[in-house]
Chains A and B, each alone.
Chain A
Amino acid sequence: MKLKQISVFLENKKGHLLEVLNVLSKAKINIRALSIADTSDFGILRLILPDPDKAAKILSQNKITVKETEVIAVGVSDKPGGLAEALQALNSANLNLEYMYAFVAKSKEKAVVVFRTENINAGIKALKKAGIPMLKAEEIYRI
């Protein structure tokens, strides 16, 4: 249900994103999903990877500012209204969504949506109650 996401602070300078990706590539770490949140001055790169602890360690060693954060992965049926259903569940429970991003899992019929709610445990509870299927960390890492 909960899985670890790695956030990387990207200051606005040329080649910075490439540098981060190169570190991961050298360490033979494959990226499952990524999203970037940015302002005009800096960005935050969010990554889902098979071994987040190892990746965080390697990035830190390369003097890259990283943070591991817990997020929720939801399997959303690939049909109209699939995502709305999940959001409705959070909304009914009065939970704020800090951010979300989606990616399509290759071998599955479902889209995977990553949620970060203010309170992770409350988020999981609300989704469970609404019968929204959540994915285990191992399932995501294995995709």
Chain B
Amino acid sequence: MFWQQDLETIDRKRLEEVQTGRLQDTVQRIWDNVPFYRDRINSAGTKPEDIKSVSDIKKLPFTSREDLLKNYPFGLVAVPRESIVRVHTSSGTTGKPKAIFFTKNDIDRGAELISRCLVMTGMRKNDVLQNMMTYGLFTGALVMHYGAEKVGVLVVPSGPGNTDRQIALMQDFKTTAIHITPSYALYLSNVFIRKGIDPRKDLNLKRAYLGAEPYSEETRKKIEEFFGIDVFNSYGLSEMNGPGVAFECQEKNGMHLWEDNFLLEIIDPATGEQVSDGERGEMVLTSLCREGMPIIRYRTRDLASVMPGKCPCGRTHRRITRITGRTDDMFIVKGVNIFPQQIENVLMGIKGVAQNYLIVLESLDHMTVQVEIEKELFDGNVTHLVNLQNAITEKLKNEILVKPKVELHEPGSLPASEGKAQRVIDNRTL
């Protein structure tokens, strides 16, 4: 079932015409209203009339995270102040936030995209969505909330945390779907085990929407199995509305990126050149409909690739793979580039390893991977644990080419997260 069938299954040629018109309109609006962009585009030797097709996007300059920080708070706003009805901020790791402004239409459009996503996964009016993302300055919860209400779903705006109450709400309101970070979903599963609740029998859950943090296919399987549900991958970023930029359909094989709203490029992060479908690179997004704060060629720092080929679901919007890392998540040990995702992939594939782990960077040459072991695995025999420790070390070394020190920890002993999980602790003084 579709929310906007004509738009979701739009002919690729027609889509390109729509994109071209919207791109031209966006460039004209920022040229006219945002001095920062006018200067930037001008220095790139481009004028709005040079944009004749989507491939002319290459004539436009990139926008970086630093550009957003530099222009904080109002520098990139393209409409009169009185047209702005909402601001969201996104905390950068650097401390200073990025501010994103929405007009009424921007909010409606964001909600519309979420409606497409939810209906695509099978959500209907009689469903109950417990929204466990943070309400407030973060886009995650509110954008989802508005979209779910548009579909007619009953929304339980629980926010994250307070796990006992979450469970009570799920039971009392017969929650059928949850919107949650992967790390909190894993944390919840541990609480269920401890309390002796079997979500397959004791709850009405059918699906979960996981986003805001990268996670592996193995983690998805673990969560699906434990809760007895379908887990759908969700991708979004505050700079482009928040959730609902790309979402999985029921095929659960790649996320459809709504290309009538966002122009997608995948580039080689080193050269800035576009790469072909199927090749991994950094996602670069241009908002095509945004009024309040249009952003062109935004360097998301998220690494993914476009999946070639048509999706059996009938939607023509191209699919992206799950985010396989962030250009800025990457760390270097012994001169080797390592992404935390690689480590997670290995760990989640090993029997006896629980969900929580922590990567601690000690020096340029040494890293420690702290791993929680599953309770069942512990049988009082030292040899078995040492064997597990060696197996983890060996498998990690094969994947990342650096031999980490592996520490085994008790289940539930590593810092658990009720929000975004911090997986890498950098203790290096460089």
Chain B CB within 8 A of A5 CB: yes
A42 nearest CB neighbor, chain B only: B408
**Are B381 and A39 interface neighbours, CB within 8 A?**
no
Q: Which of B375, B409, B410 has the most CB of A within 10 A?
A: B410
In contact, A7 and B380 (Cβ under 8 angstroms): yes
The answer for the CA separation of A66 and B385 in the assembled complex, in Å, is: 14
Nearest Cβ on chain B to A45's Cβ, whole angstroms: 9
Contacts of A7 in B (CB 8 A): 378-380
User: How extensive is the interface on chain A, given as a class?
Assistant: 20 to 34
Tell whether B382 is near chain A: CB-to-CB under 8 Å: yes
Alpha-carbon distance between A81 and B411 when the two chains are bound, in angstroms: 43
Contact of B413 among A5, A11, A41, A66 (CB under 8 A): A11
Mark A37-57 against chain B: 1 for CB-CB distance below 8 A, else 0: 111011010100000000000
Question: Cβ of B410 and Cβ of A67 under 8 Å apart?
Answer: no
Contacting B at CB under 8 A, from A17-64, are 37-39, 41-42, 44, 46, 63-64
List of B residues within 8 angstroms of A39 by Cβ: 382, 385-386
Please tell me if B158 contacts chain A, counting CB pairs below 8 Å.
no
Question: What 1/0 mask marks residues of chain B from 359 to 392 whose CB sits below 8 Å from any chain A CB?
Answer: 0000000000000010100111111011001000
A98 touches B410 (CB 8 A): no
Q: How far is the CB of A3 from chain B (nearest CB, A)?
A: 14
Q: In the complex, how many angstroms separate the beta carbon of A34 from the nearest chain B beta carbon? A: 13
Q: Is A11 within 8 A of B379, CB to CB?
A: no
Residue contact B382 to A9, C-beta cutoff 8 Å: no
Q: What residues of B have a CB within 8 angstroms of the CB of A66 in the complex?
A: 378
Taking a contact as CB atoms under 8 Å apart, the answer to whether A67 and B408 are in contact is no
B407 CB–A CB distance under 8 Å: yes
Q: Does B412 contact A (CB under 8 A)?
A: yes
CB distance from B376 to the nearest CB of A (A): 9
Contact A69 B380 (CB under 8 A): yes
Known A41-B389, A41-B407: A69·B379 in contact at CB below 8 Å: yes
A5:B386 contact, CB within 8 angstroms: no
Tell whether, in the assembled complex, residue B408 and residue A65 are in contact, meaning their CB atoms are under 8 Å apart. no
Chain A residues closer than 8 Å to B413, beta-carbon distance: 11
Cα–Cα, bound, A64→B389 (Å): 20
Contacts A11-B413, A65-B375 given; indicate if A41 touches B382 (C-beta within 8 A): no
Whether A11 contacts B407 by the Cβ 8 Å rule is yes
Known: A11-B407, A11-B413, A65-B411. A42 touches B385 (CB 8 A): yes
Query: Are B409 and A37 within 8 A (Cβ)?
Result: no
> Is there contact, CB below 8 Å, between B410 and A37?
no
Q: Is the CB of B412 within 8 A of A11?
A: no
Tell whether, in the assembled complex, residue A46 and residue B375 are in contact, meaning their CB atoms are under 8 Å apart.
no
Q: Which residue of B is nearest A68, CB measured?
A: B380
Cβ contacts B29-69/A at 8 Å (1 or 0 each):
00000000000000000000000000000000000000000
- Contact A11:B380 (CB < 8 A) given known A39-B386, A41-B389, A42-B385: no
Which residues from chain B contact A12 at a C-beta distance below 8 Å? 407
Residues of chain A within 8 A of B408, CB atoms compared: 11, 41-42
Name B382's contact: one of A44, A63, A67, A69 (CB within 8 Å). A44
Q: Which residues of B contact A98 (CB under 8 A)?
A: 381, 383
Partner of A67, one of B378, B383, B409: B378
B407 A67 Cβ-Cβ under 8 A: no
Q: In the docked arrangement, what's the CA distance between A76 and B385, Å?
A: 31
CB distance from A106 to the nearest CB of B (A): 26
Known interface pairs A5-B380, A9-B378, A11-B409; 12 further A-B residue pairs with C-beta atoms within 8 A, sorted by A's residue number: A7-B378, A7-B379, A11-B408, A37-B382, A39-B385, A39-B386, A42-B407, A44-B385, A65-B375, A67-B378, A98-B381, A99-B381
Interface residues of A (CB under 8 A from B): 5, 7, 9, 11-12, 37-39, 41-42, 44, 46, 63-67, 69, 98-99
